[in-house]
Amino acid sequence: MPLLSDALEGVLTLLFPPRCAVCATLQEPVLCTHCTTQLMAIRQPFCAQCGYPFDPLAKGDTHCAICRDVPPYFDAARAAGYYTGALRTAIHQYKYNGVQALALPLASWAMTSLELPFRPDCLCPVPLHPRREARRGYNQSLLLAEAFSAGWKIYLQPDLLRRTVDTPPQMRLNAEERRRNIRDSFTIQSAVEGRSIGLVDDVMTTGATLNECARMLKRAGATQVLAVTLARAVPDHDIPTKRQATQ
Q: Provide mean pLDDT across the span 42-46.
A: 93
pLDDT digits (tens, 9 = 90+) for 89-128: 999 999 999 999 999 999 999 999 999 999 999 999 999 9
**Contacts for 47-50 with beta carbons within 8 Å, 24 or more apart?**
48/76, 48/117, 49/74, 49/75, 49/76, 49/77, 50/74, 50/76, 50/77, 50/207
Domains and CATH numbers, the chain: 1-37 (no CATH), 41-246 (3.40.50)
The count of other CB atoms within 10 Å of the CB of residue 244 is 11
The closest alpha carbon to 124, from 74, 198, 216, 187, belongs to: 198
Confidence of residue 145 (pLDDT cuts 50, 70, 90): very high
Residues 6+ apart with CB under 8 A from 153: none
Q: Would you say the pTM of this structure is higher than 0.85?
A: yes
Helices 103-113 and 85-96 sit at what angle, rounded to 10 degrees?
A: 140
The count of other CB atoms within 10 Å of the CB of residue 70 is 8
pLDDT digits (tens, 9 = 90+) for 161-199: 999 988 767 666 777 778 887 888 899 999 999 999 999
pLDDT digits (tens, 9 = 90+) for 196-241: 999 999 999 999 999 999 999 999 999 999 999 999 999 988 888 7
Whether residue 200 contacts residue 148, with contact meaning beta carbons closer than 8 Å, is answered with yes
Q: Provide mean pLDDT across the span 69-79.
A: 96
Report the percentage of the chain scoring pLDDT > 90: 73
Confidence of residue 242 (pLDDT cuts 50, 70, 90): low
Q: How far apart are CA 189 and CA 159, in angstroms?
A: 7
Whether residue 164 contacts residue 187, with contact meaning beta carbons closer than 8 Å, is answered with yes
